[in-house]
């Protein structure tokens, strides 16, 4: 079951969902954007972007080792600011992350929550994909959300730190959970 905006507010109040900094305002206010849609909450683009390098190397996903280290070794890091946005060119792929960190605690109280990070239709209509194939945020996850972004459109898309870039959809998970943390637990870097 997908949570409505009022149920998302309840989950935040009950600490079954933690978003830092918490998006505000919770309800539409004259002169302010409300990040809560009917069943999702909008998230913003962090200032850090990784641009994978093209080159004459191959990536063997069956080799042991840290995927984050491999990505970092073969990427260029950019830091955005108000005067220096990033132009995402057509057919370009980058890794970015959200300003907000998310936590979906597993506690003794039920129900537990999971989430999906999805693109925003206003960005998708320009050809912007924000998660490619990995939208799932598992129960027990804690950290910032990595965005696997690509521009499928015909023109560069200007990316600015703080812009609404994606939406988080919260879902209830039924049943007991057996912990199995991912290698991305507590991530604070797009890699």
Residues involved in catalysis? 148
- φ and ψ at residue 67, rounded to 5 degrees: -65, -40
Tokens representing 35? 């990040």
3-state secondary structure the chain: CECCHHHHHHHHHCCCCEEECCCCCCCCECCECCCECCCCEEEEECCEEEEECCCCCCCCCCCCCCHHHHHHHCEEEEECECCECEEECCCCEEEEEEEEEEECCCCCCCCEEEEEEECCHHHHCCCEECCCCCCEECCCCEEEEEEEEEECCCCCEEECCCCEEEEEEEEEECCCCCCCCCCCCCCCCCC
Going by C-beta distance under 8 Å and a sequence separation of 6 or more, which residues neighbour residue 178? none
């Amino acid at each position: 079951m997908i949570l409505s905006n009022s149920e998302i507010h309840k989950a935040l109040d009950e600490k079954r969902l933690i978003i830092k900094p918490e998006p505000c305002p919770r309800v539409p206010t004259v002169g302010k954007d409300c990040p809560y849609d009917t069943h999702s909450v909008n998230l913003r683009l962090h200032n850090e972007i990784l641009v994978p390098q093209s080159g004459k190397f191959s990536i063997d996903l069956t080799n042991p080792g840290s995927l984050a280290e491999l990505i970092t070794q073969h990427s260029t890091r950019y830091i955005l600011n108000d005067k220096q946005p990033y132009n995402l060119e057509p057919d370009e792929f980058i890794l970015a992350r959200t300003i907000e960190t998310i936590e979906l605690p597993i506690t003794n109280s039920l129900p537990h929550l999971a989430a999906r990070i999805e693109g925003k239709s206003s960005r998708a209509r320009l050809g912007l994909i924000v998660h490619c194939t990995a939208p799932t945020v598992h129960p027990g996850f804690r950290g910032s959300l990595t965005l696997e972004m690509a521009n499928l459109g015909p023109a560069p898309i200007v990316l600015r730190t703080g812009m609404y870039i994606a939406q988080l959809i919260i879902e209830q998970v039924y049943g007991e959970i057996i912990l199995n943390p991912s290698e991305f637990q507590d991530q604070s870097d797009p890699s």
